[in-house]
C-alpha cells in the first residue's frame, strides 16, 4: 500500500512527540503501447504474442492479443524499446520507433512439415554411410544422418511419401508416410535397420621378375584353411586382377602365366 515515498512512525503513551522527515521521489516513467494485429487479408489475429524488449533485447513485459486482435502493454522504462510479435504460422516481426497506438500486420509463411527420427542397427554397431530419402512423384528429399543416427528433413509439403533408408552394407528399409496440413512436426522415433551379409574384395597387380605387368595371367584364390580354390580370374593388359564378393576368411593368391 505504501511506497518508498512514505515512512512509518508510532505515537504512544511514552512517546507522543515524533519527527518524521521524508523525501518525495520522482514518479517512475510509465509508458504504454496498444494496438491491433491483422493478417495480410485484414483479419484480426487472436493469441499473437507481443513482447517489449530493451534495445539490447532484454525482456521487459509481454502479453497476447485477444479475440479482436487487440493488446495493451504498460511498462516502466525510460529508454528506447522494441516490440517483437510472434504467432505460429507467421514471420516473427520486430518493430522499432513505434507510436503509442499501432496497427500491426503479420505475414504468413509457407508452413511445411518437418520429419525427424533416429537410425539404429538391430545388432548394435555404428551406422556408416546411410542415407534417408523421402519421395513421391513430385518431391524428392534426401538427408544423411549424423554419427548418432539422428536425421531431420525440413520443408515437406503435404502428401503421401515413401521413406527409404539405405546405404553401404545396409538392407533397404521402406516406410509409407502421410504428411497432412494439421501436423507440423512428425517424430518417427527409432528406426531399426539391418546390415547385409558383409563380403570383401581382393585385388592386385601381377608382374614378371622385371616388374612388367603380365596380361591375361591366370589368378586363383585359395582358402587358406582348407587349401581349396574358391575363385579364378585373369589379369588385364595392366596386370590387374580383382575378386569381388569374397566371404569372410583367410586366403592365398597364386598367379600363373
pLDDT averaged over the chain? 88
Please determine, for residue 9, whether its predicted confidence score (pLDDT) is greater than 60: no
DSSP character for 217?
-
User: Averaged over 125-133, what is the pLDDT?
Assistant: 86
Cell of 175: 516406410
Where residue 89 falls (left for φ over 0; alpha for ψ -120 to 50; beta otherwise) is: left
User: Averaged over 209-231, what is the pLDDT?
Assistant: 92
pLDDT of residue 125: 76
Q: Dump pLDDT digits (tens) for 145-176.
A: 998 999 999 989 889 999 999 998 888 999 99
Q: Dump pLDDT digits (tens) for 29-54.
A: 788 999 999 998 899 999 999 999 99
DSSP character for 79?
S
User: Averaged over 70-83, what is the pLDDT?
Assistant: 91
Cβ 209 vs Cβ 230: under 8 Å: no
pLDDT of residue 29: 75
Comparing 1-10, 73-82, 158-167, 175-184, the range with the smallest average pLDDT is 1-10
Comparing 1-15, 40-54, 102-116, 180-194, the range with the smallest average pLDDT is 1-15
Cβ 93 vs Cβ 85: under 8 Å: yes
Strand order in the sheet with 30-38: 70-76, 30-38, 101-105
Please determine, for residue 180, whether its predicted confidence score (pLDDT) is greater than 70: yes
User: Averaged over 73-85, what is the pLDDT?
Assistant: 91
Q: What percent of the chain has pLDDT over 90?
A: 62
Cell of 256: 600363373
pLDDT of residue 21: 66
Both ends of the chain: CA-CA distance in Å? 108
Nearest C-alpha neighbor of 193 from the set 121, 129, 127, 128: 121
Residues with Cβ within 8 Å of 257's Cβ and at least 6 positions away in sequence, in order, are 208, 214, 217, 218
Please determine, for residue 5, whether its predicted confidence score (pLDDT) is greater than 90: no
Cβ 5 vs Cβ 22: under 8 Å: yes
Of the two residues 78 and 231, the one the predictor is more confident about is 231
Question: CB count, 10 Å around CB of 247?
Answer: 11
Domain architecture of the chain: domains with CATH: 30-105 (2.60.40.10), 113-193 (2.60.40.10), 200-256 (2.60.40.10)
Question: CB count, 10 Å around CB of 40?
Answer: 10
User: Averaged over 83-109, what is the pLDDT?
Assistant: 91
Please determine, for residue 82, whether its predicted confidence score (pLDDT) is greater than 80: yes
Phi and psi (nearest 5°) for 94? -120, 130
pLDDT of residue 12: 57
Amino acid at each position: 500500500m505504501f511506497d518508498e515515498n512514505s515512512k512509518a512512525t508510532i505515537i504512544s503513551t511514552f512517546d507522543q512527540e515524533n519527527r518524521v522527515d521524508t523525501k518525495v521521489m520522482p514518479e517512475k516513467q510509465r509508458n504504454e503501447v496498444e494496438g491491433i494485429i491483422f493478417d495480410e487479408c485484414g483479419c484480426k489475429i487472436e493469441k499473437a504474442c507481443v513482447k517489449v524488449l530493451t534495445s539490447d533485447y532484454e525482456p521487459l513485459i509481454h502479453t497476447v492479443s485477444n479475440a479482436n486482435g487487440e493488446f495493451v502493454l504498460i511498462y516502466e522504462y525510460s529508454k528506447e524499446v522494441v516490440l517483437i510479435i510472434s504467432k505460429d504460422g507467421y514471420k516473427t516481426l520486430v518493430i522499432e520507433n513505434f507510436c503509442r497506438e499501432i496497427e500491426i500486420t503479420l505475414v504468413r509463411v509457407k508452413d511445411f512439415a518437418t520429419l525427424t527420427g533416429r537410425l539404429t542397427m538391430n545388432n548394435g554397431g555404428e551406422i556408416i554411410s546411410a542415407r534417408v530419402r523421402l519421395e513421391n512423384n513430385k518431391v524428392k528429399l534426401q538427408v544423411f544422418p549424423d554419427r548418432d543416427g539422428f536425421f531431420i528433413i525440413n520443408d515437406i509439403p503435404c502428401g503421401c511419401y515413401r521413406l527409404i533408408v539405405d546405404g553401404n552394407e545396409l538392407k533397404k528399409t521402406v516406410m509409407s508416410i502421410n504428411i497432412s496440413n494439421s501436423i507440423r512436426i512428425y517424430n518417427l522415433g527409432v528406426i531399426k535397420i539391418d546390415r547385409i551379409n558383409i563380403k570383401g574384395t581382393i585385388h592386385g597387380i601381377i608382374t614378371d621378375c622385371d616388374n612388367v605387368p603380365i596380361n591375361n595371367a591366370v589368378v586363383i584364390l585359395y582358402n587358406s584353411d582348407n587349401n581349396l580354390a574358391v575363385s579364378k580370374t585373369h589379369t588385364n593388359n595392366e596386370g590387374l586382377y580383382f575378386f569381388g564378393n569374397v566371404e569372410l576368411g583367410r586366403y592365398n593368391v597364386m598367379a600363373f602365366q
